[in-house]
Chain A
Amino acid sequence: MSMFSLISPHLPVLTVLLPAFTAMLLVLIGDSRERLVLARRIALASVTLGLLLALKLALDANGGELRVYRVGDWPAPFGIVLVVDRLSALMLVLTQAVALPVLLYASGGWDSHGRHFHALIQFQLMGLCGAFVTGDLFNLFVFFEVLLIASYVLLVHGQGKERFRVGVHYVAINLAASALFLIGVALIYAVTGTLNMADLAQRVPLVNGDEALVLKAAALILLVVFGVKAAMLPLYLWLPATYAAASAPVAALFALMTKVGVYSIVRVHGVIFGAEGGASALVAEPWLLPLALGTSALAVFGALAAQTLPRLVAYLTIASVGTILASLGLFSTAAWSAAMYYMAHSTLVIAALFLLVELVASQRGDADSRLEPGAPVAQPVLLGLMLLLAAASAAGLPPLPGFIGKLMVLQASSGHDAQVWIWIVVLSVGFLTLVGLARAGSLLFWSTRPELAGTGTAAGASSKLVFATIALLVGGVAMTVLADPLKRYTDAAAAQLTDHRAYALGVLGGEGVDTTRPYVFPRPAAGGPAGQGTEGEP
């Protein structure tokens, strides 16, 4: 096992390097018809390896280990650090657990509809994993850009007028958000002199007076940016058209992208600007909860009014994000734990729904994904049961994990001022989700036009596609069986987030280094210490 002990300290950076190198290899191999099978195998092998890696990191994190990786061994506030705590490890596992079935599904034919599909998926995974392990804000921006650039191209995969039209909108809004991200990050740097998350958590509480106002403005600018990514009210308007236009496997993978926004809100507004943030403490609190509840409520009405299946699922994505953000907005460890549990489950179910609705639509002849009576599907029992399971879980019916997640959210809200509102919104959103999906289901499977029978695909979906979709659904439902260990994990993850001292100790290796501006280096008279100008340059 000497080989493993050699690799073991480098596991955090491998989560980023593995998809990066796989992507480069896949670009070199290309995807001509005879090499597509090879490309598929390499991509699947890489993601399987990535999943094992993420599971290993999660098991280690579960034991309480905070893995800190200093790239190039530069000391912490100056160099690039990657940090894997319980939350990061959970997000890594979730990313790979969604990516693996999605990749399998795409190997069923979607990957041949355009060029470099597998390479782009790997670049997207690189960005996702990087965003989840990075320990400083600027690298969060860089990895955001990596995953966004990959997503721009993936969105137009398969091409067509509609995809290019929403593609321009999607790219424009994300570029504007990136500009805001940079402004927020630059303001934070201007006030605190650091972008390292652990260092920031130490320094933000010390900022007072006028500078605290600048810092608050920066935090709220970042809330806007992450709100765009997470699709929070009123910044979600880009999402339904974009996700509905994307090809099914891409939309399923995009279910992860909203979670990057959620994750960033936890890190920045939950931890750095959390309860211990001094003058800038809880700067997002007045905004997060009302906006999140509004997001959930409006999105579910969008789902009820949706005219096509992908649009319905896209609105359900937003509704679930609203529930997660509402739970984050309670700013307690119990609520954060609930948010993590519900996030993991809803991501799996939403991804499964995106794949499932394409399976259904492909068997309905000319009606396709439109919500109107069409040709009866070839596999009504199989697809109908799958939709029933997904719908019940998305709506939160017991004993499915959606129910457990929402129950945790409701429990965590007890005693909060807005408890009544949270109960009303979460419960009625659950009910309306069920209504929306029941309406879709009865249209798809019962209100068919038998005279059109035979105009759809008679053969039914290939077993590969069905297997990939079922794998995602089973992953979601398995969270009921594993609810107890998972809840203990998310509880510990939420508690770990509030422990700033341990985080700073792990990342900075001490109290942190004091930097001042301008960096004055008084020349020592004779061999004395270099004074307080500890700039870190060797």
Chain B
Amino acid sequence: MNVSMEFLVASGIGWVTACGVFLMLRGRSFPVVLGLTLIGYAVNVFIFAMGRLWTGAQPIIGNGEVVADPLPQALVLTAIVIGFATTGFVIELALRSHHESGTDQVDGKEPGA
């Protein structure tokens, strides 16, 4: 069976996104943060793949004739940095919220309480 690289990457991104969405819809802030992180990973790979998937193309102009698109690489770098910072912040915020309300539940009270 001949499976293209595009199909594999697309399915991978789709699966990770699905897991991220599932986790994000949980009721506790820890899975929510994990879900956001997974979605962030999927998005980063997605941006990277939007420059098209090349094999054997040079990352920057050199002696070869075909050059991979450099812009998505720059974009994804920015997105990774921003995603990292916001993930750090949301973890800290969730911890603080936990200390304030005494529960990890996102709406601040245990179910049924």
* A interface residues, Cβ below 8 angstroms from B: 138, 142, 145, 149, 152, 156, 160-161, 164-165, 167-169, 171-172, 175-176, 178-179, 182-183, 185-187, 189-190, 517-523, 535, 537
Of A152, A518, A521, the residue contacting B52 (CB under 8 A) is A518
Inside 8 A of A519's CB, which chain B residues have their CB? 66-67, 69
B85 at the interface (CB under 8 A from A): yes
Instruction: Tell me, rounded to whole Å, the shortest Cβ–Cβ distance linking A136 to chain B.
Output: 11
**Given A145-B82, A149-B86, A189-B50, A179:B43 Cβ within 8 A:** yes
- 8 A Cβ contacts from B56-113 to A: 57, 60-61, 65-69, 71-72, 75, 78-79, 82, 85-86, 89-90, 93-94, 96-97, 100-101, 106-108
Whether A186 lies near B32 (C-beta < 8 A) is no
Q: Is the CB of B36 within 8 A of A176?
A: yes
Query: By the criterion of a CB under 8 Å from any partner CB, how many residues of chain B are at the interface?
Result: 40
* B82 A142 Cβ-Cβ under 8 A: yes
B50 near A190 with CB under 8 A, answer yes
Report how far A161 CA is from B75 CA in the complex, Å.
37
Contacts of B106 in A (CB 8 A): 168-169, 172
- The answer, among A152, A182, A523, for a CB contact under 8 Å with B47, is A182
A171 in contact with B93 given A189-B50, A190-B50 (CB within 8 Å):
yes
Tell me the B residues contacting A by CB distance below 8 Å.
24, 29, 32, 36, 39-40, 43, 46-47, 50-52, 54, 57, 60-61, 65-69, 71-72, 75, 78-79, 82, 85-86, 89-90, 93-94, 96-97, 100-101, 106-108
Given contacts A183-B43, A183-B46, A186-B46, contact A156 B93 (CB under 8 A): yes
Provide a sorted-by-A list of 8 A–B residue pairs whose CB atoms are within 8 angstroms.
A160-B100, A168-B97, A171-B90, A176-B36, A182-B43, A182-B47, A189-B51, A521-B65
Q: Is the interface of A mostly helix, strand, loop or mixed?
A: helix
**By the criterion CB–CB under 8 Å, are B36 and A175 in contact?**
yes
With contacts A169-B106, A519-B66 known, is A187 near B57, CB below 8 A? no
CA distance A537 to B62 in the complex (A): 11
Q: Nearest chain A CB to B82's CB is how many angstroms away? A: 5
Q: Which of A145, A168, A518 contacts B57 (CB 8 A)?
A: A518
In the assembled complex, how far is the CB of residue A224 from the closest CB belonging to chain B, in whole angstroms? 14
Q: How far is the CA of A522 from the CA of B78 in the complex (A)?
A: 31
Closest to A139 in B: B78
Q: Counting chain B CB atoms within 10 Å of each CB, which of A179, A183, A190 scores highest?
A: A179
